[in-house]
A and B are shown apart, each in its own frame.
Chain A
Amino acid sequence: MSVVDRPITAPVHSEVESYPEHHFLNHSSGFLSWALTLDHKRIGLMYLVGVMSSFALGGMFALMIRIHLWNFKDGWLSNQTYNQVFTLHGAIMVFLFIIPSVPAALGNFLLPVMLGTKDVAFPRLNLSSFYLWVTGLILFLTALSVTGLDTGWTFYTPYSIETQQGGAVLAATFGVFVLGFSSIFTGLNFIVTINTMRPPGMTWFRMPLFLWAIYATSIIQVLATPVLGITVLLLSAERLLGIGIFDPKLNGDPVTFQHFFWFYSHPAVYIMILPAMGIISELMSVHCHKGIFGYRMIAYSSIAIALFGFLVWGHHMFTSGMADVTTIVFSALTFTVSIPSAIKVFNWLGTMYQGTVSLNTPMLYALAFIFLFTIGGLTGLPLGALSTDMHFHDTYFVVAHFHYVMMGGTLVAFLGGVFHWWPKMTGRMFNDKLGIVSAIIVFVGFNLTFLPQFVLGSRGMPRRYATYLPEFQPLHQLSTIGSITLGSGLLLALIVLLMSLVNGKKAPRNPWGGATLEWMCSSPPPHDNFSSAPTVGDPYDFSNIEYDGRVGGYVKRP
């Protein structure tokens, strides 16, 4: 790498790469300085700890499920316990991990820094959304663990009304209700921030693609989450007051609940995957040191996915006995979502072409994402097509499909994002070699866990079964072996991150060579991010960013 012999001019000050003595982590100290902070970075970090702990908890339950399924009968859990465990796994992963993971944790930290502002538009609303999240989490976990809720994360009626687990359903749905408000507040905050606080020069089409993705996500959060709130309120009203909405015994219709529920929960799938796609757009361009291929198409496709995502909820109900026309229309709409997703994959590949590909930890996670997400997307085709879905619906094929999208997609992108922005967030570099090993173990373990499940599903293995036919046992065992591999890979990733806090090298301002604004402030950023509004250029202009051995990171050549 060439050493620049001209003076280094970075936007803020001259001793660019010295580790800042004063930054947001040591700006103030004590418990209250965190508990009452209005700093989006600290709130983001608290969310990060929260969602990662939730993920660890949900992951434990996943391993319990997989170990139980080692034998086709007489596993170590009773039927009832198994049902509670898969409910806990699904509910924790969806409501406490995937939905808040990228927007609330990474989004909170990065959005204002990427915009070159001091904070989000409503810092107090931001803190309150975190407290709502914590409240929802406590309510939800208490309900789930104390009362043994066993409805699955979908709360399908009439089972959720009939089930004799006391107030479990009420408490859990109230938890979901509170979590929903946390989500709405975050979304609202981000929309206002992006609309009103972009710095001079940052037009819509000069915004980093991560922000486009967060923006699209926020729109879904604000528009769709209230429907979930209404649904769980109606469910509670039905249980408490016995009004007939969903319960056939009271002249209600259980399928109505499914319409309500999926009207939120399908767009929620895009709350999960859109920010992940945003992360991948950033990672691909930065680690290929090359402008993103087809910027506008990626930006438009985020919005297209957000809009189409509202119109496809019916595909969760193809076998429920909806009218034929409705079913066919939902099938057609479902396929419309596949096109913008495909475009993104092609664009990311186009970005690699003729670039300079740094094969480091975040990039390997990004490449794993492309591989896994492509499988997840393609296996959506036989589920979107009606006649094949009649066979695959509610089988392990669906389980494998959505794990490829949600876990292979969102989780892997989230990990890539955490590794990518870890030096910025903590000021420490992690051990890249061990990080790469973790990415490879996660990738192998993931495929070993979920590829066999496609075969299980197409042979007719139904989902949510505590016992199964003996002929399915070898594939289940393969999947269990994979899940343990996957678990150890994830554990290694966590160890690599935590080790960096102990003995990691101090991070330079710009360790990867990014061109977006967060790489222009120190690592970790100062309390108020930028002392003056930074100049905004093309977020994907890498032509004058070069490695400088003296600082161990990238610098901008004038």
Chain B
Amino acid sequence: MSFFLADQVAPYAWFPEGASSFAPQVDFLFTVILWICIVFFVPIVIAMGYFMWVYRERPGYRGSPEALHNTAIEITWTVVPTIVVVWVFWEGAMGYLDMARIPKGTVDVNVTAKKWQWAFKYENGGEHDVIPVENSSVKELPLLVLPVDRDIKMIMRSDDVLHSFYIPAFRAKRDVVPGRYNYMWFHTTKEGLYDLFCTEYCGDNHSQMNAKVKVVSQEEYKKALDKAIQEPEDPLARGQLLYKRQGCSTCHNAGAEGASGPGPSYNGSWGKPVQLESGAEVAFDENYVRESILNPQAKARKGYGKASPMNSYAGKLKDDQIDALITFIKSLENANSATKK
């Protein structure tokens, strides 16, 4: 079993590689606490083992039945831990204040969390790109590009329930609470690709609500920003991009891509009649798609209205973007709905 652990533990010990200015403080405090734990725990276990052996019940031995009491030793083991925890508290609180006080002159990113997708908007209004991932239950994740060696501020809100924004490499975490903005900041120190997790339980696909953070040089960051506001001319390519960028793919299956639920698949839907909850039937056409994007509950498909209802995209998509999405869905007219389970 030891080789098994050693292989896993050795490359990065307790922590993933640190990539923000918080990492040294957090790692230092944790290392000190770890040593404090060892200094308390090891003698406790040694004493326990020693007493178990030396004072074990055996023929011819009878220990003292008298209760002991020693004021000096009791004061010592009250005062020493108290001093230790006061220091730990102080160090933790000072580190926290550093995390809580947001400096001026930050690079701001707007973060929107919703079930089960992160959306990032840069200062120039551009939206995040996606990055393909291997070895995962999803094919691609949102990609947040950040410049290295800058103070970054996240302005975070939630469209639905509680989420939490967590980048282990930055040692930074903050809940995203509906009905208010929560802020967090960090100073990036190292280029690289890092994981971003949702750490507040938010329902069905909570564990797939991940993203990647790419910290790059200033020049590359500028390029990424420029790219972020571009959308392709071709309506089909644009629709396909929006399908991923706007998070449709987290619930709707299209071709061989996207999640297989909870939303209905786009495959082979176009032009066919749609059964509604009321029992009525409507045609799956331009008007139906447009209405379903802007007001999803108006004509929800039978079986899809109540479970995990879709949020409205009114105000989030421009008319020509909706047109592009319609073109994309139309292109799947003959796609086999059984492409994906």
Shortest beta-carbon distance, B53 to chain A, in Å? 9
> Which residue of A has the minimal Cβ distance to B86?
A335
Q: Give the residues in chain A near B78, CB-CB below 8 Å.
A: 339, 343
Assuming the A-B contacts A73-B136, A164-B307, A474-B8, are A468 and B207 also in contact, with contact meaning beta carbons closer than 8 angstroms in the complex? yes
A367 touches B52 (CB 8 A): yes
How distant is B205 from chain A, measured CB to nearest CB, in Å?
6
Does B283 count as interface, using CB distance less than 8 angstroms?
A: no
> A338 with B81: in contact, given A79-B205, A354-B64 (CB under 8 Å)?
yes
Closest to A472 in B: B8
Which residue in A158, A357, A464, A470 is a CB contact (below 8 Å) of B162?
A158
State the Cβ distance, B140 to closest chain A Cβ, in Å.
15
**Nearest B-chain residue to A327, judged by Cβ:** B96
Checking A381, A458, A465 against B36 with a beta-carbon cut-off of 8 angstroms, the contacting residue is A381
Q: Does B284 contact A (CB under 8 A)?
A: no
Contact B41 A158 (CB under 8 A): no
Inter-subunit contact B195/A460 (CB<8 Å) = yes
Contact A335 B88 (CB under 8 A): yes
Indicate if B37 sits at the interface (CB-CB under 8 A).
Answer: yes
Task: Give chain A residues whose Cβ lies under 8 Å from the Cβ of B137.
Answer: 73-74, 467
Size category of the binding interface on chain B: 35 or more
Q: Is the CB of B56 within 8 A of A359?
A: yes
Contact residues, B145-204 vs A (CB, 8 A): 160-162, 164, 166, 168-169, 171-175, 177-180, 182, 195, 197-204
The reply to whether the CB of A150 lies closer than 8 angstroms to some CB of chain B is: yes
B26-34, B247-255, B272-280, B285-293: which lies at the A interface?
B26-34
Q: B48 to chain A: which residues have CB within 8 Å?
A: 349, 352, 367, 370-371
- B315: Cβ under 8 A from any A Cβ: no
Question: B residues touching A (Cβ–Cβ < 8 Å)?
Answer: 1, 4-5, 7-9, 12, 14-16, 22, 25-26, 29-30, 33-34, 36-37, 40-41, 44-45, 47-48, 51-52, 55-57, 61-70, 73-74, 77-78, 81-82, 85-86, 88-89, 91-100, 135-137, 160-162, 164, 166, 168-169, 171-175, 177-180, 182, 195, 197-208, 306-309
Residues of B within 8 A of A349 (CB): 44, 47-48, 51
A395, CB-defined interface residue at 8 Å = yes
In whole Å, how far is B115's beta carbon from the nearest beta carbon of chain A?
A: 9
CB 8 Å contact bits of A368-392 with B (1 = contact, 0 = none)? 0011001100110110111111110
The smallest beta-carbon distance between B15 and chain A, in angstroms, is: 6
Report the contact-size class of chain A (Cβ under 8 Å from the partner): 35 or more
Say whether A162 faces chain B, with CB atoms less than 8 Å apart: yes
Instruction: Give A405 Cβ to nearest chain B Cβ, in Å.
Output: 14
Closest 7 CB pairs of A and B: A291-B67, A248-B179, A387-B95, A460-B168, A385-B92, A386-B96, A465-B207
Q: Are B56 and A357 closer than 8 Å at their CB atoms?
A: yes
Contact A387 B25 (CB under 8 A): yes
**Nearest-CB distance from A329 to chain B (Å)?**
10
Q: A28: shortest Cβ distance to chain B, in Å? A: 40
